[in-house]
Amino acid sequence: MPIYEYQCETCQDILEVQQSLADKPLTTCPICSGTLKKIISMSSFQLKGGGWYSDGYSNNPGKTSPSCPTTCSDAASSCPAKEVSACKCKCE
């Protein structure tokens, strides 16, 4: 369940509340009955080390994937990129 942060516009108190995505946002401060606004804070989620990003989506020049021929020919049937689902041949 996500944690949302709210800040009271009157007393400036910050609340952290676990709410379901279906729950309506809070509107009243439990301390002073002032108006609450939802604030956006930095996420603590970080990608570290190897994995899907560094292996498949980065512009790392050390790893290259096979490329398709740019023109239609008999070579399209033996495209090296078809083996790794990277083939964009229009000759299939």
User: Which residue did the predictor score with more confidence, 77 or 92?
Assistant: 77
Token duo for residue 16: 């952290």
Task: Please report whether residue 34 resides in a domain.
Answer: yes
User: Which residue did the predictor score with more confidence, 72 or 79?
Assistant: 79
pLDDT score of 52: 64
Token duo for residue 22: 């279906």
Total domains present in the chain? 2
Helices within 23-71 (DSSP H only): 52
pLDDT score of 35: 96
Task: Please report whether residue 16 resides in a domain.
Answer: yes
**Order of strands, sheet of 14-18, starting from the edge strand that comes earlier in the sequence:** 14-18, 3-8, 36-39
pLDDT score of 48: 73
CA distances from 83 to 6, 72, 73, 90 (A): 50, 18, 18, 16
Task: Please report whether residue 44 resides in a domain.
Answer: no
Task: Please report whether residue 49 resides in a domain.
Answer: no
Model-level pTM greater than 0.75? Answer: no
Task: Please report whether residue 59 resides in a domain.
Answer: no
Condensed to tens digits (0 to 9), the pLDDT of residues 9-45 reads: 999 999 999 999 899 999 999 999 999 999 988 777 7
Task: Please report whether residue 56 resides in a domain.
Answer: no
Range of the domain at 34: 3-39
Task: Please report whether residue 17 resides in a domain.
Answer: yes
For residue 82, report the phi and psi dihedrals to the nearest 5 degrees. -65, -30
Condensed to tens digits (0 to 9), the pLDDT of residues 39-61 reads: 988 777 777 766 665 556 656 55
